[in-house]
Amino acid sequence: MRTKFPQSQTYRVAVLCGGDSDERAISRESGRCVAEALRERGHEVTLIDPAATPPEAALFRDVDVAFLALHGRNGEDGTIQSVLDRMGVVFTGSGAEASRLAFSKSASKERFFQCGVPTPVYVLVNETDGGQRCREMADRIGFPLVVKPDSQGSSLGVSIVRSADALSAALERCFRYDSFALFERAVAGTEWTLPLFDDEPLPLIQISTPREFFDFTAKYEDPATEYHFEFAESRAAVASLVDAGRRAAQAIGTKGLARVDLRLDQEGRPWVLEVNTIPGLTEHSLLPKAAAQSGISLGELCERSLERSLIAAQSRRSILQGPHRLRAWHAERA
């Protein structure tokens, strides 16, 4: 975040948002907020919805960088990143491999285990598994447990299951979003999130909600949800959350903007739930709240994300020179 292009530099930006996932509406709102914030800082912005206009090289010939605000499948799972890589388009955020890894909760947990990142134990079941097998797998974890889709965001399809009697209904909700369900040990304690820019943590946020957990309604609709930047917990507990969050992002290999969701248990131990490689950027979203706490506007945050991506591309391509570093390259590809 410390390295910057000159303040007078402006960019031609394609903001990709919308898409065809279950998070389409949230993605459209993130894209709108990003586009508005970048235009206020003088950048030329075009909105592209891949569900309406499939990305092709011609779309990006007059674009310096693509800003990814696509949530859910085909946005956070490495699909769009692979497409843009093949076309040689510079884009914000994590690469295809890190995106694929983070989007699968089971795959990311296996990486956490390998890297010593604390995360609750889990088992994975498929929608073709019978009720008896699902019950046996749930018993391995023990109740209460959390049932969640292996690949999904915004807490869609997530339930806290406190007894075997509620397991069937939770699985039915989960399988609406994914054919694989994660059974994860429920961590009694408090809810936290750590936004990051590369390896630099933004202010840690503690989340409180009167709902059973930080579900879709609590995230986007419930005015009773509260976000705290001052904590009653010890400095050691807070530091352990930041350390666990940073190590989780490093294990996945995130770049640019990211967010790590955690729980702090009743003994003061941190547990990483998941890593989000394209965090929400709406007015309700957590990462912009953390940035604002540090005095960074959404426009500046997005601009820094553009710059980080262009600097990385500049180091890879010696031909990227001049005030608009990608234009000569685009002209050669045209």
The phi-psi region of residue 72 (left if phi > 0; otherwise alpha if psi is between -120 and 50; otherwise beta) is: left
Residues 6+ apart with CB under 8 A from 87: 55, 56, 57, 60
- 76-102 as b/e: b if 16+ CB within 10 A: bbbbbbebbeebebbbbbbbbebbbbb
Question: Which residues have a catalytic role annotated?
Answer: 23, 154, 220, 259, 261, 274, 276, 280
Question: Which amino acid is it at 130?
Answer: G
3-state secondary structure 245-310: HHHHHHHHCCCCEEEEEEEEECCCCEEEEEEECCCCCCCCCHHHHHHHHCCCCHHHHHHHHHHHHH
Compute the CA torsion angle 315, 319, 320, 323 (nearest 10 deg). 140
334 pairs with which residues across the strands? none
CA dihedral sign, ordered 90, 279, 276, 26: negative
Spatial separation of the C-alpha atoms in residues 288 and 187, rounded to whole Å = 27
Note whether 156 and 216 are within 8 A (CB): yes
Spatial separation of the C-alpha atoms in residues 276 and 151, rounded to whole Å = 11
